[in-house]
A and B are shown apart, each in its own frame.
Chain A
Amino acid sequence: MTLLDFARGPGLQGAWLIMVAGTAWRVSGILLLRQRSHLAAPRIGFAGRVRVGLATVFTRFVPRRTFWPRIAVSVGLSSTFHLGLAVIVLGGAPHILLIHQFFWLTWPNLPKGLVAIVSGVTLASMIALLFRRIYHPVLRLLSKADDYLSWLLVFLPVLTGILLSGETIASYSTWLTMHILSVELMMVWLPFGKLLHVKLAFFGRAAMGMNFARKGAAT
């Protein structure tokens, strides 16, 4: 068995298993805690609270005007990175093929050149984000090993993906192996650190929206 065979076979299966089991464990460990009661008369009914909760998932993407001047750089870099990643994963032809293999969904891909440019911008934004994390006093204070590890585990797939797509420095199959293995490493760590924000962000925003809607408080 070559390393590529391993990456495409047992490696992928193992990574999926760990990612799904770990996520299920962590999310259920949070959501199955005893819910405290809220006996105060709510300002709006349950349906209204659900509506606000779901809306908050989306409105939190755009911060309020009062915050803007100070967080423009943070929002700019973070949005560039996240949107870039979305364009690469959902717009790149090889990824669409992969998704089609597992989930039978498909859609038109973006031109390779465009994905290449977006990949470069995404990589640059990641490097800028790392510098910011190292040098900004607030981020330096807050950051732990998981922050840097999570950065690396996302950086490697983006970097190896660019090198794979450019078929440069090493062979196609070497970069393909590295790319798949790096994604699998990310999948294995995902449930245990901050990378799980891919799920927790939606739960957290919705929960805040619903709880605050009960009070008519600002979301």
Chain B
Amino acid sequence: MRGFVSDFGPTAALSMESCVHCGRCADACQFYVQTGDPRYTPIHKIAPFRQAYAREVGPFAMFYRLLGLARKVTADELTKWQDLIYDSCNMCGRCSLICPMGIDIADLVEKARHGMYRAGLAPSDYLGLLAEKEQATGSPFGLSTTKFREMLNAIADQHGVAMHVDEATADIVPTVSSIDLKTYPGSMAAIAKILNHMGESWTFRTDGFDADNVSLTAGDRDGQRKTTLGIVQAAASCGAKTLLMPECGHAFTEMRWEAANAFGKPLPFRVMQITEFLAEGLADGRIRVKTVKQRATYHDACQISRRGGATAGPRIILEALGVDLHETEDTGDSNWCCGGGGGVALINRAAPLRKKAFEIKQRQIEATGMETVYTSCSGCRQTLDHGGKAAQWNKTVGSLLELVADSLRP
């Protein structure tokens, strides 16, 4: 625990000190709202870590220890908090947005997971397992660079696109999400189509391709750093000017907002979420699209919109495509999480809870009356697909990236 709290700065310390126990964070959280279980109150999820902070690092730490005002938190005790810190938190940030004291609770949960991982408490079925594989191989599913190269070549053949792999120099390096690799390989064809359409110099790099960073959501700081720096080095080594983050929430926030800290200096290239890149390309005419006569709604990925500051891009893209967009009641920065993010989709025992959390999103999408819902996060896409199947939807869940690729004008 000392290790966990020792690198706290003023903002994290303020967060630990400031809670007035108003309970409003519970009302922002899909897990509490759907179950009524007060244990899912966001600030409660990190209670042992607040105790550790007060005892080890807080302004009155000496008195807490001398007078026994806070016990030392043991690894055994932390076991009881595993499901609160992992299964019932997407790190979606709705709680951070409601907190009247300005506490970034989602960030505190991410920090708490560092302590949990070090205590060997990342859920092994199967988030922890994927994090271990990612540390060892660079890919959560253990996909080797050879396998990735083979996949890309197969996609190139199947879709009739020119694929660039491991070029020595390139202006743009796109990355992928492990979910795309497993479930939505069409996204790689889509990236290739669009970049070729734009006439850009680009390449996938097999030494830095999977940006999912499962290690981040598991709480493995070493793995997180290793995955991030692998991609940074791959992009830097070919002189990239832009690193493209895939349709993945945490991949974006990690690379855009944390990678430079791991690198030790500002990154030598721009980091863009794919929707930011597409919006820019549509706005300046480098990407030319046909009008899509469609009515649809849109699901924001929490890490891209609310937490990542990239809310505008999808709307620019949908408008450029001429899609008749019907937003959900709570949308954009205020949206409800789909329930799958933050590694929760990778915890098998959390499936029933995740399903309950998803029902809010389900109701809001159904209320729009739209038959198509787009998103720009493969994690959300998968959650919407699974949730929609369970709800027996007749709706189509689509990727914004693939929609643009399918709508390109010659």
Contacts and interface: CB of A to CB of B under 8 A. Distances in A.
A209 B60 contact: no
A194 B311 CA distance: 35
Contacts of B38: 137-138, 140-141
Interface in B1-33: 7-11, 13-15, 17-24, 26-28, 32-33
Contacts of B96: 208
Contacts of B325: none
A146 B378 CA distance: 45
Interface string B171-188: 000000000000000000
A217 B307 contact: yes
Interface residues of A, number: 59
Interface string A27-49: 01111111111111101000000
B266 A39 contact: yes
Interface string A180-219: 0000000000001010110011011111110100011111
Contact of A26 (B15, B17, B97, B270): B17
Interface in B244-296: 256-261, 263-267, 270-271
A66 B334 contact: yes
B13 A33 contact: yes
A60 interface: yes
A85 to B, nearest CB: 15
B58 A201 contact: no
A70 to B, nearest CB: 4
Nearest to A68: B27
Contacts of B266: 39-41
Interface string B96-113: 111111111000000000
B44 to A, nearest CB: 6
A63 to B, nearest CB: 6
A60 B102 contact: yes
A30 B57 CA distance: 9
Interface string A8-30: 00000000000000000110111
B341 to A, nearest CB: 15
B15 A142 contact: no
A31 B10 contact: yes
Interface residues on B, range: 35 or more
A197 B18 contact: yes
Task: Specify which of B11, B258, B260, B310 lies most central, judged by the most chain A CB atoms within 10 Å of its CB.
Answer: B11
A40 B27 contact: no
Nearest to A64: B334
A76 to B, nearest CB: 12
B260 A207 contact: no
Nearest to B306: A218
A71 B33 CA distance: 12
B32 A138 contact: yes
Interface in A130-150: 133, 136-144, 147
B102 A204 contact: yes
Given A33-B10, A67-B27, A215 B309 contact: yes
Interface in B313-344: 330, 333-336
B43 interface: yes
A209 B270 CA distance: 24
A61 B18 CA distance: 16
A74 interface: yes
B23 A138 contact: yes
Interface of B: 7-11, 13-15, 17-24, 26-28, 32-33, 36, 38-39, 41, 43-44, 57-60, 93-94, 96-104, 256-261, 263-267, 270-271, 305-311, 330, 333-336
Interface of A: 25-26, 28-41, 43, 56, 60-61, 63-67, 70-71, 74, 78, 133, 136-144, 147, 192, 194, 196-197, 200-201, 203-209, 211, 215-219
